[in-house]
Structure 1
Amino acid sequence: MDILEIAAILVIGFVGSAEFGSATLVHPVIRRLETEDQLTFEKGLLKTFGRVMPIGMTIATALGIVVAINDPSAWLAFAAISLSIALIVTIIGNFPINLRTGRITEKTAPKGFVAMRRRWDAFQIARASLQLIGFILATIGIVGGP
């Protein structure tokens, strides 16, 4: 394994695990909170996840593509495809909803807030699953698949 492959496994693994953990362990708890508490929590996450993960997802996708170009195995090609689709889902699905959430200035959630966030949840589980699958495929492709 070279340094690029090690970086790919580490970055793709971090991003995929963080996003999948968020989708399956954190956001189900948020959904049980009162609406205003959901708003506070989501706005807080935009200041943590929202600042780190766009960079991480972009780097993970770029690393997945570069590693797949350097070693065009089916495992790595499908990893790059999975990561690329996850990034597209983020850009067209999650990002616009995050922008709207971040622009809310009131302490009370506006009408339609919960429905908007449930749409975000659907995009989140899709992208998080694709990122985790990308990580698994990249790891198999780099370490040496069956």
Structure 2
Amino acid sequence: MTTIERPLLTRAFALLFSGLLAGAFGYGAVNVLYAFRRVPLDVRFTFHTTLMSVNGFVMQSLMGLTILSTLVLAVRSTARHRWFAGGAAVLAVASFVITRLGNVPINQQIKVWAVSGPPADYATILARWEAFHFARTACAVVAFLLVVMLTLLPAKEARP
């Protein structure tokens, strides 16, 4: 592989994984979240629990691959490209941290609610879950935009 092909391949992986992550979170924010709000609570809690158990592996893998690919891109880049890729990596890490410390604990509560019913303050807790979801979605979308911008910049700054 030539020195030009390797940075292009690294950019392609960073673009692919960050785009998939932003798209998955974005779809959840635009479609799934609003569908959750329109169904009865027992349906929402059951579906939420099922969806999160399926999403667990997929989304953690996408976050990990986004972090790894943007870090590799940052290491293999110089100057302005390094800042874009490093910023994308930081935002991907932020989406992971928000998910693990914000959404996942609430998901565990919702799992219990699906069986035993919600507590009196469930609406406040669901609003907090939504705020965490919008925050991690924003991080993922901005990370993707940084990789897109980096991809559109001239390639002369990439390391061999």
Specify the structure having the higher radius of gyration (Cα).
2
User: What is the alpha-carbon distance in structure 2 between the residues aligned to residue 102 and residue 7 of structure 1?
Assistant: 34
Q: For residues 1-146 of structure 1, what are the structure 2 equivalents within 5 Å? A: 1-72=7-78, 73=81, 74-104=83-113, 106=115, 108-111=116-119, 112-144=121-153
**Helix, strand or coil at the partner of 1:110:** coil
**Helix, strand or coil at the partner of 1:128:** helix
Question: 1:85/1:133 Cα in 2 relative to 1: closer, same or farther (>3 Å)?
Answer: same
Q: Counterpart amino acid of 1:113?
A: Y
C-alpha displacement of 1:114 = 3.5
CA contact (8 A) 1:46 1:102 kept: no
User: Which ranges in structure 1 are unaligned for 5 or more consecutive residues?
Assistant: none
User: What is the alpha-carbon distance in structure 1 between the residues aligned to residue 76 and residue 94 of structure 2?
Assistant: 20
TM-score by length of 1: 0.86
User: What is the alpha-carbon distance in structure 1 between the residues aligned to residue 76 and residue 150 of structure 2?
Assistant: 12
User: What is the alpha-carbon distance in structure 1 between the residues aligned to residue 74 and residue 8 of structure 2?
Assistant: 13
User: Which ranges in structure 2 are unaligned for 5 or more consecutive residues?
Assistant: 1-6, 155-160
User: What is the alpha-carbon distance in structure 2 between the residues aligned to residue 102 and residue 55 of structure 1?
Assistant: 22
Q: Deviations over 1:73-99 (max 9, x none)?
A: 232222222222222211211121123
C-alpha displacement of 1:56 = 1.2
TM-score by length of 2: 0.79
- Fraction of identical pairs, as percent: 24
Q: Deviations over 1:39-87 (max 9, x none)?
A: 1120121132233111211221221122112114232222222222222
